Amino acid sequence: MAPDMTQGQSGDRREDQDHPPHHGMSAGEYIATRFTTLRPPMTKPPNPIRLLRSINRTQWAFFMVAFLAWTWDAFDFFTVSLTVAELAETFDKTNTDITWGITLVLMFRSIGSVLFGIASDRYGRKWPFIVNNILFIVLELGTGFSNTYGQFLACRALFGVAMGGLYGNAAATALEDLPEECRGLMSGMLQQGYAFGYLLATAFARALVNTTSHGWRPLFWFGACPPVLIIIFRLLLPETTTYQERAAVRENAEREGETVSSVFLREGKVALRRHWLLLTYLVLLMAGFNFMSHGSQDLYPTMLQNQFSFSPNQVTVTQVVANLGAICGGTVVGFCSQIFGRRLSIIVMCLLGGALMYPYTFVTDQSVAAAAFFEQFCVQGAWGVIPIHLMELSPGAFRTFVVGTSYQLGNLVSSASSTIESSIGERFPLPPKGKVHRYEYGKVICIFMGCVYVYVIILTLIGPEHLNRKLDVAHDTDVREVAGEDAIATIHRRERMGMGLSEEDLEDAAEVRRLREAEKQTQSHHE
């Protein structure tokens, strides 16, 4: 009896450790801890070089394919933001009309996140990822060959579906197999694929737009090429280890008479019953974050060109500097969030970003590039925490779905950011220059972003955090409820057998652990 009791107590202790810090609190207790839990854990700063060297080649390959795909997702998105004026001229529409192409992408992304998120959690990370990239190729070419405004909007709407499915899959592929202490740093690096994609789009827009007789179209045609290489890269890689563990739990249940689909649905019911409030919170949080990024970025090139009369070269330089700041911010703050905590890192970046909004939108000469660097350092610094923050809060069995859908539903809520800013900006006309109508977009962006920062700070303050949560199946309380401890133990036994351990070896190791536990209890009793 004693060994069984010890094993049960150990299992209970482990399950308690797997719950988030706020587990079991009443509403009053939870509210009372919102400020005290901001106290940074102040873990010893690890050597970032050592962290990078601790990642094995397979984990690096997973990270790189996810980073490249997320980078090109951003590239494809910003091709429209950077060619608003050219598209408006081609289709004989206003700038506000063209921003509907941006809005539709953001609105339809939530559909893609649901479809591809469920597919990724049910059938694996690999093939939904590949289908995503095939659709990128087809629809980017379609946009480049659009001859009417209606065709352009249709392509962008469908593009939103394809793009919506990528984020959750990329985050899971890149982060779920990584060593625990590496995740903050690598989360920040992953998220900056977004800024890197924006930087590449800015550079290639300058090189390809209006440099041939085809105007803006070569930028979109070029955008269809790199996903071919990304698809080949992903085909060479297996499923992630974490997903294989989950698949093994479902297959074990299948051998006992249940279908894999029925186990998957039971996991969904458990996740929804346990975490519905958390899922609602994540959508609201991601709405604020998406307002923050799109509100500060999408109309900014238009502001520089229209209000400040920047030349194409000046716009390009300012955008490149801003995105270098974004890349630095995401990486640095993502790493620091492992030391200071996720919520505190986000709040500090929002406070600094709010303080920088005035120079970011009111400095009218080229020195605005400095403000742009530090503003985007803060915006993407806060964003650098998001991939791992969402991963740590999400139910394990539906991690891709929850991360992707919360992100994309947030995009849906914030989808009209550029259209709202553009529409309000047109109520503040400036003296025209020749035939060009000019508007005071800077004032609108500044006020809009001030409101967004306040919202994000409040949401982050009242929200939960599960710093350094273990992401494997053995520490997933939802899977434990669905499949039971025995199923998880069986999976781990098979994994160890795969590493060359026999059943006798495993029994001997278990006996040694029991003896050590009994010896510790005896020593504790004598003390």
Write out pLDDT tens, residues 232-272.
999 999 999 888 887 777 777 666 666 666 766 776 677 67
Q: Please tell me the least confidently modeled range out of 31-40, 170-179, 510-519.
A: 510-519
Q: How many helices (H) and strands (E) does the chain have?
A: 27, 2
Q: Tell me if residue 430 falls in helix, strand or coil.
A: strand
Residue 516: predicted pLDDT: 54
Helix axes 386-393, 183-191, angle to 10 degrees: 120
DSSP character string of 148-169 = SHHHHHHHHHHHHHHHHTHHHH
Query: In 33-56, which ranges are continuous DSSP H helix?
Result: 48-53
Angle between the N-to-C axes of helices 193-208 and 183-191, in degrees from 0 to 180, rounded to the nearest 10: 20
pLDDT at 372 over 90: yes
Q: Residue 467: what pLDDT? A: 83
**Is it the case that residue 3 has pLDDT exceeding 80?**
no
Are 143 and 456 within 8 A, CB to CB? no
Mean pLDDT in residue range 316-320: 88
The number of residues in the chain equals: 527
The residue-averaged pLDDT of 27-51 equals 85
Higher pLDDT, 111 or 25: 111
Mean pLDDT of the chain: 83
pLDDT of residue 6: 37
3-class SS of residue 435? coil
The first and second tokens of residue 309, run together, are 């009369």
pLDDT (0 to 100) of residue 257:
64
Determine the distance from the C-alpha atom of residue 85 to the mean position of all C-alpha atoms in its chain, rounded to a whole number: 30
The more confidently predicted of residues 506 and 44 is: 44
Predicted TM-score (pTM) of the model is 0.75
Q: Are 255 and 151 in contact (CB under 8 A)?
A: no
Which has the minimum average pLDDT: 93-97, 352-356, 411-415? Answer: 411-415
User: How does residue 110 score in pLDDT terms, banded at 50, 70 and 90?
Assistant: confident
pLDDT of residue 10: 44
pLDDT at 154: 93
Burial of residue 346, with CB atoms counted within 10 A of its CB: 0-12 exposed, 13-18 middle, 19 or more buried: buried
Distance CA 286, CA 397 (A): 21
Q: Which amino acid is at 110?
A: S
- In this predicted structure, the answer to whether residue 17 has a pLDDT above a threshold of 90 is no
pLDDT of 43 higher than 80: no
pLDDT at 292: 93
Q: How far is CA 95 from the centre of its chain?
A: 29
Give residue 453's pLDDT band: very low, low, confident or very high (50, 70, 90).
Answer: very high
- Is it the case that residue 474 has pLDDT exceeding 80? no
Selection from 443, 317, 293, 437 nearest residue 368 by Cα: 317
Q: Of the ranges 59-73, 301-315, 400-414, which one carries the lowest mean pLDDT score?
A: 400-414
Q: Determine the average pLDDT of the residues in 276-304.
A: 89
Percent of the chain surpassing pLDDT 70: 83
Buried b (16+ CB within 10 A) or exposed e, 80-91: bbbbbbbbbebb
Within 13 Å and on the Cβ side, how many CA atoms surround 8? 5
Gyration radius of the chain over CA positions: 25
Per-residue confidence (pLDDT) for residue 345, from 0 to 100: 95
What percentage of the chain reaches a pLDDT higher than 90?
A: 33
Residue 519: pLDDT band with limits 50, 70, 90 = low
Instruction: Quote the pLDDT of residue 426.
Output: 82
As a whole number of angstroms, the distance between CA 488 and CA 470 comes to 15
Confidence at 501, pLDDT banded by 50, 70, 90:
very low
The confidence score (pLDDT) of residue 18 equals 61
Question: Does residue 223 surpass a pLDDT of 90?
Answer: yes
> What pLDDT is attached to residue 256?
65
- Using one digit for the tens of pLDDT, what is the confidence trace for 410-452? 878 887 787 788 888 888 888 888 777 888 888 999 999 999 9
Give residue 221's pLDDT band: very low, low, confident or very high (50, 70, 90).
very high
Q: What's the DSSP call for residue 45? A: P
Residue 113: pLDDT over 90: no
Residue 138 has pLDDT above 50, yes or no: yes
Cβ count near 370 (within 10 Å): 16
Examine the pLDDT at 226 and tell me if it is beyond 50: yes
Judged by average pLDDT, the poorest of 19-28, 49-58, 116-125 is: 19-28
Q: How many CB atoms neighbour CB 23 within 10 A? A: 11
What's the CA gap between 143 and 444, in Å, rounded? 30
Amino acid type, 355 = A
Given this model, what pLDDT does residue 523 score?
59
Q: For the residues of 217-265, what is the DSSP string, one character each?
A: HHHHHHHTSHHHHHHHHHHTS---HHHHHHHHHHHHHHHTT--HHHHHH
Q: Which residues touch 70 (CB under 8 Å, ≥6 apart)?
A: 166, 167, 170, 190, 191, 193, 194, 197
* CA–CA gap between residue 321 and residue 370 (Å, rounded): 8
Is the pLDDT at 62 greater than 50? The verdict is: yes
